[in-house]
Every structure is written in structure tokens, then in C-alpha cells.
Amino acid sequence: MDLPRQPIFNVPAVVGALIVLLSLVHAVRVWLLPGNVDRALVWALAFVPARYDASPFTDGLLPGGWAAEIWSFVTYATLHSDVMHLGVNSIWLLAFGSPLARRFGAGRFLLFFAVTIAAGALANLVMHAGEFSLMIGASAGVSGTMAAAARFVFEPGGALAMWRGDRGDRGDADRVPAAPLLVSLRNPRVMTFLAVWFALNLLFGIGSLTLIGAGQSVAWEAHIGGFLAGLLLFSAFDPINPVPAVPHQHLAH
């Protein structure tokens, strides 16, 4: 008897390609670009709230001009501070991006990833308007995949339903119907996941926890922006019909 193929060991091509792209960008920066060229590239691609300051003082100060005000909402995610920063994001992207990519398909997944990255940049802009703080890294998009995956992996038959012993033997654990958001938020396993995630980011925010090098702060606002976008926009991208609503029962008197 052939056992069903377990999708957790089958990394989607789009996720693998994203990780390769992020790795290549970092390798080129570290090994091929002179320091001054790398700095100019980083400032051109990174998200910098001061780009959107109406003050004449900022005009022409940052490379990229007005076009960078558009592309940096996404391009900042292609840059990472060091190998550890890149490695952590890659591991979480493998873990949560893979089931989401299998569910969405490559096109939907890439668009969803870009939207959550942009949402992270918007959150950073709101919290740091006018600042010359430089934000890089794909963490907002990774956070978005975490939130989206939480919408279906805990459902009966889903990838993490094994916690309750109700994962079946099917090979389509990533395509189980997702419950509506308000129903999902009543799931104790989903709420536990959300509580732990937000608690960790609170620790990042108050500086009690760090996963990157000394002197580098964690853009926790971008994490939250990407996460909330992933949680709220999941249904707009999901190609799987949701769990049907239970009709109200009308009792005869």
C-alpha cells in the first residue's frame, strides 16, 4: 500500500526561487559590490520614511528619486543585514510559505507576498513618519504567510490538526476549506498561535528579545503590518471555497 506523499517535504518551486533570489542578492552585495556601491544600492532599495517627507530638506537627498518612493515599498524585502537575518527569514518562509504556496499557486502567492510586504512598509511609515531610519528584510512578508497559514492549518484535516488527532491520511492537507475569519478567531489553537506571535513581537518592540546582530533593531511594526494584512486579506486570495455557513434551524411551533 502506497502512503500519501507528505507535502511538508515538498517545497514549492516559487518558495525555493524566492529564497534563492534573496540569497543571490545578499551574496552579490557581500562579495561583488564595492562598499560605496553597496551603500548606494541599499539606500535606493530600502524603505526610508523620510522619502515621504514634504520638507524641501529631503529633496534629492536619497537615491532613487520619486520612483524609489514606489518601488521601495517592496524592494526593501530583498535586502538583509547579514547571513543570520537572511537565514531566519528563509527558515520561516520555508515553514509557512510552503503550505500557502501549495494552496494559492505561484501567481497568487507572489502577489499576496508583495501585498503583505507593502503593508509592513506602510505600518513602518505610520510609526516613523519623516525619520531617516532604514528598513530592510522580508520579515513583513514572512509574517503575512504565518497569519495566512494560521487560517487553514489548524482546521480539521489541516497540516497541524494532528495536535487534536483529526488529521486524515489525505495528501491535500494544505487545501482544506478555511473557516471565516470570525469563526477562525474562536478556535483555541488559532488564538494561542496569535497570542504567542504578538507576545514575541511585543518583546521585540520593548527590546527584550533580538534575533539579529548587536546594534540592529527589529522592525516589529512592519511585522505586525504584514501579519494583519495576511490575516485579513487571506480570503481575498484563497482559491478554496470556505467552510459553508451552518444554516439557521427553523423550529415548527
pLDDT digits (tens, 9 = 90+) for 164-182: 445 444 557 899 999 999 9
Give the 3-state secondary structure of 109-157.
HHHHHHHHHHHHHHHHHHHCCCCCCCECCCHHHHHHHHHHHHCCCCCCC
Q: Is pLDDT above 60 for 48?
A: yes
Q: Judging by beta carbons within 10 Å of its beta carbon (0-12, 13-18, 19+), is residue 34 exposed, middle or buried?
A: exposed
pTM, whole model, 2 decimals?
Answer: 0.86
Q: Give me the pLDDT at residue 203, please.
A: 80
The pLDDT tens digits of the residues spanning 232-248 come to 999 999 999 886 655 44
Greater model confidence, 8 or 128: 128
CATH number of 7-237: 1.20.1540.10
The single residue listed with the C-alpha cell 514575541 is 200
Ranked by mean pLDDT, the top range of 6-20, 179-193, 202-216 is: 179-193
Where along the chain do its domains lie? Answer: 7-237
